[in-house]
Structure 1
Amino acid sequence: MPSQGLALSNRLRYLAARARRIDVGSVIERARETSRDHGKWTPAVLADMLWSAGFRQVGFQDYVDYDFAILNRAERDTYMTHPVSNELSQKFDHPDYRLLFQDKVEFDRVFSDFLRRDWMVVERGNAEAVKTFTLAHGTIVTKEPVGQAGTGVHRYHAADIQDWNDFHAGLLQRGELLIEEVIRQHADLAAVCPGTVNTTRVTAFFDGEKTHILAIAQKFGRGAVSDQMTFGGFYTMLDDGGRAVGPGYDSHGHVHRQHPDSGAVIAEFQLPMIDEVKTFVDQVARVVPQVQYVGWDIVVTPDGPVLVEGNWGAGVYENKPSVTGIRTGHKPRYRAAIGF
Structure 2
Amino acid sequence: MTRLSLAPRIRYLLGRARRIDVGSVVERAKEASAQHHKPVPTIVVDMLWSAARHNVGFQDYIDYDFAMLTRAERDTYMTHPVSNQLSQKYDRPDFRWIFQDKIEFNRKFSEHLHREWLVVEEGNAAEVRALTERLGTIVTKEPIGQAGTGVHRYHAADIDDWDAFHRGLLSRGELLIEEVIRQHDDLAAVCPGTVNTTRITAFFDGEKAHILAMAQKFGRGAVSDQMTFGGFYTMLDENGHAVGAGYDSHGHVHETHPDSGFRIADFQLPFMDEVRAFIDRVARVVPEVQYVGWDVVVTPDGPVLVEGNWGAGVYENKPSVTGIRTGHKPRYREVIGF
Same fold per TM (> 0.5)?
A: yes
Q: Distance in 2 between matches of 1:99 and 1:4?
A: 26
TM alignment of 1:1-340, pairs within 5 A: 3-340=1-338
Secondary structure in 2 matching 1:313: coil
Q: Distance in 1 between matches of 2:114 and 2:17?
A: 43
Secondary structure in 2 matching 1:219: strand
Secondary structure in 2 matching 1:203: strand
Q: Distance in 1 between matches of 2:134 and 2:70?
A: 56
Q: Distance in 2 between matches of 1:277 and 1:233?
A: 22
Aligned length: 338
Q: Distance in 2 between matches of 1:155 and 1:86?
A: 31
Q: Distance in 2 between matches of 1:210 and 1:302?
A: 26
Secondary structure in 2 matching 1:52: helix
Secondary structure in 2 matching 1:204: strand
Q: Distance in 1 between matches of 2:258 and 2:279?
A: 30
Consecutive unaligned residues in structure 2, runs of 5 or more: none
Consecutive unaligned residues in structure 1, runs of 5 or more: none
Residue type matched to 1:75 in 2?
A: E
Cα RMSD between the aligned structures? Answer: 0.4
Q: Distance in 2 between matches of 1:164 and 1:330?
A: 49
Secondary structure in 1 matching 2:181: coil
Q: Distance in 1 between matches of 2:66 and 2:316?
A: 12
Q: Distance in 1 between matches of 2:230 and 2:319?
A: 21
Deviation at 1:235?
Answer: 0.2
Secondary structure in 2 matching 1:184: coil
Which consecutive aligned stretches of 4+ in structure 1 deviate over 4 angstroms post-superposition?
A: none
Residue type matched to 2:160 in 1?
A: Q
Q: Distance in 1 between matches of 2:244 and 2:297?
A: 20
Q: Distance in 1 between matches of 2:122 and 2:261?
A: 45
Secondary structure in 1 matching 2:88: helix
Secondary structure in 1 matching 2:296: strand
Deviation at 1:18?
Answer: 1.1
Deviation at 1:4?
Answer: 2.0
TM-score with structure 1 setting the length: 0.99
Task: Give the percent of matched residue pairs that are identical in Structure 1 and Structure 2.
Answer: 76
